[in-house]
């Protein structure tokens, strides 16, 4: 974790908490926190999204609130800085949950979301080389947030630029509700990062919430599900977990995960390992 990334995470936590302190919704706090990270260019989301194999920048994002279980998401969207806001607009302004590809881009432009210049560094690649390289490396890089507001509602969100070693058209866990994010006031809120294919196969965010529903604490729930992810399918991931009674956990099966938390007192806690 660089000094700049650490400072950005602290700033994002302070922005999100400021909204909560003013009585705003957990949903808004999550969106605004993630927008700071998307705009920074320091993470694989928004301005900092990696170029994919064909030289294009495609992004995914999702957001969910726990009161009415409303959710919105976009996948493979191009040309905008804040996919997390596009995801929220899908939730609030349409009867749908997920929009993808060029149609998601047109939707974002309709609402005049801030644009960024599309990447045009076209590359040549072969399917064989993609499969070989993908077998050697599972690139990670998702930003996310969870929050609890004064009404007792939880929310979760995530945003990513995907991974470099991927076929155009690949979609990871981030925009899939129940995999990359989940939020329910009866259990808690979860936001994931890691190897998207493995997270999808175990529907990890929803599975952690089910553990919470069964009475497990957030740390135990996260540890159990990530342990199963590793032992069952050799997956890897990290998660943020927050319950309506203010308990939380940050856990990861990877060697490190940049993350932080803040309750409004002292300085935000930010580090790259939470074991």
- Counting the structural domains of the chain, the total is 1
**Rounded alpha-carbon distances, angstroms, from residue 137 to 56, 195, 251:** 20, 10, 21
* Nearest Cα to Cα of residue 61 among 22, 90, 95: 90
Tell me whether residue 47 is exposed, middle or buried, using C-beta atoms within 10 angstroms of its C-beta: 0 to 12, 13 to 18, 19 or more.
Answer: middle
pLDDT at 122 > cutoff 90: no
pLDDT at 134 > cutoff 80: no
- The pLDDT of 149-169, averaged and rounded, is 90
pLDDT at 133 > cutoff 90: no
Q: Give the pLDDT score at 163.
A: 79
Alpha helix segments (H runs only) across 99-217? 101-110, 127-136, 196-201, 204-213
Active site residues: 142
- Give the percent of the chain with pLDDT over 90: 80
- The pLDDT of 4-13, averaged and rounded, is 96
pLDDT at 14 > cutoff 80: yes
Helix (H, G, I), strand (E, B) or coil at 106: helix
pLDDT in tens, 42-93: 999 999 998 887 888 899 999 999 999 999 999 999 999 999 999 999 999 9
216: containing domain? 3-271
- Residue 174: give its domain's CATH number: 3.60.20.30
pTM of this structure: 0.93
Pull the structure tokens for residue 275.
Answer: 């074991």
pLDDT at 124 > cutoff 70: no
Out of 36-45, 164-173, 264-273, pick the least confident.
164-173
Arithmetic mean of pLDDT over the chain:
92
Q: Give the pLDDT score at 128.
A: 57
Q: Give the pLDDT score at 136.
A: 46
């Amino acid at each position: 974790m660089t000094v700049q990334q650490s400072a950005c995470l602290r700033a994002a936590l302070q922005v999100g908490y400021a909204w909560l302190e003013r009585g705003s919704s957990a949903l808004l706090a999550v969106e605004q926190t993630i927008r700071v990270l998307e705009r920074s260019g320091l993470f694989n989301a928004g301005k900092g999204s990696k170029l994919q194999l064909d030289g294009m920048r495609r992004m995914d994002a999702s957001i969910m609130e726990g009161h009415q279980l409303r959710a919105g998401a976009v996948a493979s969207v191009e040309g905008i800085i804040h996919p997390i806001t596009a995801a929220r607009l899908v939730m609030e302004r349409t009867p749908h949950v997920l929009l993808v590809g060029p149609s998601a881009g047109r939707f974002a432009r309709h609402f005049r979301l801030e644009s960024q210049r599309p990447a045009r560094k076209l590359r040549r690649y072969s399917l064989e080389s993609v499969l070989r390289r993908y077998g050697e490396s599972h690139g990670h890089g998702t930003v996310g947030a969870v929050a609890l507001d004064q009404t007792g509602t939880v929310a979760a969100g995530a945003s990513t630029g995907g991974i470099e070693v991927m076929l155009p058209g690949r979609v990871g866990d981030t925009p899939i509700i129940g995999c990359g994010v989940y939020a329910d006031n009866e259990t808690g809120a979860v936001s994931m990062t890691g190897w998207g294919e493995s997270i999808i196969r175990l529907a990890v965010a929803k599975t952690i919430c089910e553990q919470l529903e069964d009475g497990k604490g957030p740390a135990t729930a996260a540890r159990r599900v990530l342990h199963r992810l590793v032992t069952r399918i050799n997956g890897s991931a990290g998660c943020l977990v927050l319950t309506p009674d203010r308990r939380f956990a940050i856990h990861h099966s990877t060697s490190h995960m940049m993350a932080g938390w803040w309750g409004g007192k002292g300085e935000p806690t930010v580090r790259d390992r939470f074991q």
